[in-house]
Structure 1
Amino acid sequence: MCAIALLANVNKLPRRLEVLEGENAAFCVEVEEEEMEVFWFKDGLQLRETHQTIIKSFGKTHILVFVNTSYQDSGTVTFVAGRSKTSCKLRVKAIRHCPPICPVGVQMNTECPNGVVLSWSPSPNLQNSTKSVYVVEVQEVGSQEWQRCVTTETGTSAEILGDIVPCEGDYRFRICCMNKYGRSGHVEFPRVVHLSKKTNAAVTEGEDAVFSIELSASMIGTWFLNSTQLQASERCSISQSKTLHTLCFHNVPNVYDGAEITFIATGVRDSAVLQVQGMAVWSSLPRFIFESGNPIVLYCEISNPAADVRWFKDGQELHREEGLNIQSDGSMRRIVLQSSEYSHSGVYTCQSNDDIVTFHVDVEGKCQFVGFVVCRNRSVDTGHPLVLRCELSDPDAEVCWLKDGEPICPQSGIDMQINGNTRTLVIESVDFYDSGTYACRSADDVAVFEVDITVSFKEIPEEERQKSTTELDPVVLHCELSRPDATARWLKDGAEVLQTDNVTIQAEGTMRRLIIRSAQLSDAGAYTCQAGDNTMSFTVNLSVTGENY
């Protein structure tokens, strides 16, 4: 887009021209004679042609164009031809950044067993210049609480299995888009899907394995072993009592280890994995590997059913508590952890007065960031250190730090630290170009930080900020910012100072100036240059006939 100021002659320019940041500002002047010597000025400084300032002449027509304007281009533009001149005040208004727009075209595919495939499209009006993430949330029908289940930066689809839900039920989903400017509204997917959490059942070889499910209404259901329909036989018993369905495998053989048991009824599908452990004897056992979230069952058999035993983990005695059950059944001794976590890895021992048995347990699973919140924001002044920190569920996990999608390489002034589960990125002294999107990525998860480097002022001694002069003399106030692209404004006694024929406001690189060409007594007072949340203050004292004003 381009805003244009036109002149019929050199005697008059429009008093004001306003354009949006990023637009072109064009001035066209037609003079009475060709071959006249003409000049363009901005805030008293003569303009030269650059890649962002275009100056052209065609006979009597003279053109000035500011390309891709920024706030710093605001000021007074003056055209001089011979002894004639005319001026126009250019104002470049900043574009207001808005939160992202909702995704569109949401669809739900429920053909996935005990799961759902969600898909969507970015809004056509989404600003690609700002990194955005999509957040999918789930809600059980009848509940008021929504919980995050999927976060993705670039994907436009997600497969969600029943493992994410706490219990069997009907669930709905919604999605929103987030970036550093905020969050869009939520768009709800059009259907409701029935999901159930897949659980595991662990038994010892030769024991009975019992599966049961209770429905909300009495109906006929079918049991399957690895997709093969089961019928009542000597090996298994199938029964139904009103809404309760039960399957019992007798004398389970080791070949059933890892088998999937599935129950299907009208509108209901639930499944579990059967884990068959070999019969343990009172001796050291091999290493056990459990998937994170599944139960841990450790057991052994002793020769004296009446003997007392004590369980230990890494030398610390274990006691019954929520999530940890210690069982004694005849000569069998067993501990059960309902839901395994990485911290449950270690060496477990069962000790009696006569002997000891040892279990080496490893819990494997996805390495995730603990307490992760999408788009954690950080604002840091230039020159200050930037510290980004996140915590992983696995202290041995490897991570990669990225900025705007590119890996960050170790170098002077940048420190990447590992301390147990914590991963830390430290930039000792940030500059404005350190703004952007940072990510700490593991093999299974990512933590995202939006970093904005704020503006600060270079220190000026107090005595240099006290200006004393006499009436009609010029007054120049100046300060230096940490960022050349920072927006600053001048205030006097709390009111904004506007540019006039007697007052010039300049911005060159990091320098900001306020120039009063001929000071009046009314110009005395407290002046402030404000940039973001930071300010620099000045005091102007004027005197007349030798007396202080």
Structure 2
Amino acid sequence: MEGFRGAPRFLAYPRAFTVQSGTDAVLSCQITGDPQPSIIWEKDKTPIEPSGRFHMEAKGDLYSLLVSHTTPQDSGLYICKAKNSVGETYAAATLKVEAGKPQEEERCSGSEAPSFLVAPSSTRVCRGEDVMFACRVSGQPCPVLEWEKDGHKLSDLFESSHFAVGQEPEDWHFLKLFGARPPDGGVYVCRARSGSREALAAAVLLQRRRHTAERRAGPETWVPNGVVPAGVPGAKAFAVSVGKHAKFRCYVTGKPKPEIVWQKDGEPLAPGRRHLVYEDREGYFILKVLYCKPQDQGLYVCTASNTAGQTLSAVQLHVKEHRLQFQVQLADVEVAEQEDAVLECQVPLETIPTAWYLEDRELQPSHKYVMEERGVVRRLTIRDARTDDDGIYLCQMKDKGRSIAELSVRGMIVKRLPRKLDVMEGENAVFCVETREAVEGTCWSRDGLQLRESPHTVLKSFGRTHLLVLVHVTRQDVGIISFTVGESQTSSQLRVKCVKRDPPSTPVAAEMSVAESNAALLAWCPAPDAHLRPPSRYLLERREVAGGEWVQCLATDLPGRMRVLGDSVPREADYCFRVCATNEHGRSSPVEFPGSVHLAPAAHLERGLQDVRVQDGEDARFSLELSAMVNGTWFLDGTRLGEEEEACGRCSVRHHGMEHSLLIRGARVADSGAQVTFVSGEVRDSATLHVQGEQESCPGVLLREEQQGLSLTGDPTLSLAEAPVRIVSSNEEAPHTYMVGQRVELWCQLSRPAVPVHWYKDGEEVEVGESLVLEQEGPRHRLVLPCARPQDTGEFVCDAGGDSRFDSSQWGDVSSGTHFVCNPLTRVELWCQLSRPAAPVHWYKDGEEVEVGESLVLEQEGPRHRLVLPCAQLQDEGEFVCDVGGDSAFYTITVAGGSWSSQPRRSTLPQCLRHSNSRRCWQGCPCCWSVRCPPQMPLSTG
């Protein structure tokens, strides 16, 4: 358990952002792990070496990559890899560097605006098929391509294993989707940027419909038995009057983007004249039942599913009828195009006035609409019915009940345009028409002017389906959009609304826990309206309680919990924190976390204490220097000294920056031999006070004698003897268990530099070579094994003449991790713990599923699964895999006496979803970096 918890884990992820060329960019993240992980940064899968423009920094668990004086060539995918002996993890972020002003670029020789030589083609596929969009671009400098779907980044919608973006020779670029799913349908836009100039090309992806019989079978893939049971526990009740709209909303989170299926009484609902199914701009999935009839009453269920799981929620709809009802209701009518349509009903009393509506528009008597009242009969005749007359008609008694009917006009157009379409500025406007049969000679127009294919206008026909897509609409695109084939026509009013550019709201529920020593656990939640004004990241700021300015200390794009350690602050003090949300339109007001926390950075001894020798009555001063500004405590013969003067003003303590000092005024002979100790965190250092009387000779002075009887003759010769060297600190108390191939570092720090040090292994002095290096920095001496081997196991001694430190370094007996080493005939346990207990688990050895027997036992306790070798043999060596379908854990077992493997063997299993398997790549394929989370969905009505 301890080893498993020590694997590297991201507390804050690097975020994607955009900078101007020539400025600096910093990618930061917060990572925890035990042992402390090693960090590697990569750009486009190539390791980054520190250079003049690339600088890597680590402060505690905060890691950053600084790119100085960025250029457009620095744009790309940056990956932070964290690895220790227990495990490894990855995180990626995109950096985009925008070039300078166009005027500057135009002066550059060889500059050419980007253009599409071949644009991506729209296509239609069946579920499960792969999709390929390809295009060819030109431009100087070489254009950078980005793909998006319906205005969203692909990485925000799909897991990384579901799509691939790449480049082929001769400036060909491609986007590939693996195993198309219903949510994949939509508009894909390719942006080609060269400097500050860009070009756009768009393509549409449609999915072929299943046959009617197959559709009626229900979404058996997502809902057990294909039909939702009649009574769903916790189903809400919702009532609506006849003729009113019922609107159901569900807000779904999850990656990949969940697939939504609506059902009524166990039958799937298809979009139609009275059933609108769509996703609104706030991220809600909507089912709208227009002009409800009594037969619309029933149980409505929304099912959301993705590769990580599924969830559902339900609402029971009740349709209330008015107490004064029509004696005869309107009946649905179907006529051929250019025929007259007649709608007729009967009111309960002749004197009741009525009005006629085409959906939300009241009709007036005219040559087109003939209205008759004869006794209790009410009749509406629609002359020369056309496609745009197709719709929902209502006859309403004044302030009383309604009667509803649908008019279907048979013609060449079987699916017409909506009467109006509202689109936010910058979004895509999609218009779809279906004809009775595949036809030629279709025409799309806006305000009577024919539309032509362009980068911003996509025109496509798939058999009977005809599409018009206006990419990234502006207010100039508003107007009447019409589709015409022969004498049939359908129209829609396009309205473009301006985007509200508001900063996000203030985060809520800010809490701080200080239960852990020298750390603060900060937690907060996004604002309730975060889905309306989504923040791009959260900024954490700190300041000292004693006063000062607020200073930004961390940034993250995920709300939730963040652990702030003492190593992240510049000096020891009491700190308070606050957090705010930001996006491209500004930042919210900050919310302050209640309370404060005392934090101190970790410090080590830079300059230790020295013994002090003074004459009787002189002042004695002890001092040391630490690596960080922290507080400390002085002790004199075990008695703690306070911050102020003590013992009648004899002792004075000072702290300036990183230097600490103790002054003892007027030291007496009686004080000689007193022990002075300084303690700060894990730093502890001591020295001795020596006080000499007036008649005593200085113990540091030696007299050379020539003995003649009882007298001394000759001139005395003086020589000063240095205090003996001491080892003031080392890492001998640290655990020294390592994996083969790891870097091992043993060190000790002396009381003064320039002292010879000897290192010994198992009693023999070590020999320097490629496999063992000795280093020195001032008083610190290190023994380094760059790549540890099994034969390096043993006892190491650092000897400084009068002082020695022992370090025992070992390999093997690792309690958790990738590589296990054991002795023959010992018991070996491999285990993994799942997020829920009822999931099926399969164990594999060297690619083949294991067989249970006397030599191999499988056990389970709740969510924990174990593979046990009661008596390990040489033939048990190999790679073991614990597989749960969507994730895998890998182990390598080596039996002592068998062959030693310094590197794990490559798995014989397929690597990832991208390679036709759902198991996680054990070596960390980029396809498997995506975060998988099951959908979570509340359902509401409105």
TM-score of Structure 1 vs Structure 2, range by shorter chain: 0.3 to 0.5
| Structure with larger Rg | 2
Q: TM-score, normalised by structure 1?
A: 0.33
Q: TM-score, normalised by structure 2?
A: 0.21
